[in-house]
Amino acid sequence: MNDLVKNKTIWITGGTSGIGLEMTRQLLEQGATVIVLARNEKKLLQLQDDATLKKGNLMTQMIEMSNEDSIKQAVKTLFNKGIIVDVLINNAGIGIFDHILDSKSEEIREMFDVNVLGSITLIKEILPHMLKNQRGQIIQIASQAGKLATPKSSVYGATKHAILGFSNALRLELADTPIQMTVVNPGPIRTPFFNVADKSGTYVTNMEKIMLKPEIVAQKIIKTIGSSKRELNLPWWMNFGAKIYHLMPGVIEKIASKQFNKK
């Protein structure tokens, strides 16, 4: 439990499933006000009707992270209601694992629109309010895929690499302000994400034993709230592998090429 989340207002994009939903549950239990932003109206309504969440202070707001106007309108609606934002957890994201020659142009655009441009747009809309209030924290959910490229995730990895670059630069821009920037780089997590990302089921089959549990990932992310932690990398050994890769990419590609191709 993180005592620093109590009474804080925390916005979570993509909070209706996976680690977003798990963070929502845990944050409500710890006394936070949680604003869940997602595009699926049915899932948002289900969230509101969930008896296990009704004891907490939960609000929902529809948003389409691939649409700039939708993002601006969602933020405007919440601010007009007097909702503040102490912490933004940019969690919404999509991925589709395909060789680049098999990738569809519309899917490539959607990954960049949601994972990168949507994330940046939402921060641009919220940041002035954090600066005005002289407090706030932005938690970006990136991925180990942004540090260590593998076959069939060239586009997805590129979006997460972009988020890492953006977040690192933004952290420097905010260095003289009270706003904290934290980036989370998890490895594969056992969530519905792979229902879309892994059409063949090959990746999940091969990686099942090392997949992270969403409740554990959510718990570790929540512990970063109120801290000055720069990055959270999960699991540690995967991040260690990424560091070794950056030191000797050619060697690692030769040694681990079969493992990389398990998608």
| Per-residue model confidence as pLDDT tens for the chain (263 residues) | 788 899 999 999 999 999 999 999 999 999 999 999 999 999 999 998 887 777 789 999 999 999 999 999 999 999 999 999 999 999 999 998 888 999 999 999 999 999 999 999 999 999 999 999 999 999 999 999 899 878 888 999 999 999 999 999 999 999 999 999 999 999 888 777 766 656 666 666 666 777 889 999 999 999 999 999 999 999 877 777 778 777 776 666 666 555 555 55
156 included as an active-site residue: yes
The domain in which residue 43 lies consists of: 3-260
pLDDT at 173: 98
Q: HSE (CB half, 13 Å, CA atoms) of 237? A: 4
pLDDT at 76: 98
Helices 68-80 and 119-133, packing angle to 10 deg: 30
* Number of independent structural domains in the chain: 1
pLDDT at 210: 73
Taking Cα atoms as reference points, which of 232, 222, 243 lies closest to residue 184?
A: 232
CA distance 223 to 87: 13
How would DSSP label each residue in the chain?
A: --GGGTT-EEEEETTTSHHHHHHHHHHHHTT-EEEEEES-HHHHHHHHH-TTTTTSEEEEEE--TT-HHHHHHHHHHHHHTT---SEEEE---------GGG--HHHHHHHHIIIIIIHHHHHHHHHHHHHHHT--EEEEE--GGGTS--TT-HHHHHHHHHHHHHHHHHHHHTTTSS-EEEEEEE--BSSTHHHHH-TTSHHHHHHGGGPBPHHHHHHHHHHTTTS---EEEESHHHHHHHHHHHHSHHHHHHHHHHHHTT-
CATH of the domain at 118: 3.40.50.720
From the candidates 11, 97, 156, 194, give the one annotated as an active-site residue. Answer: 156
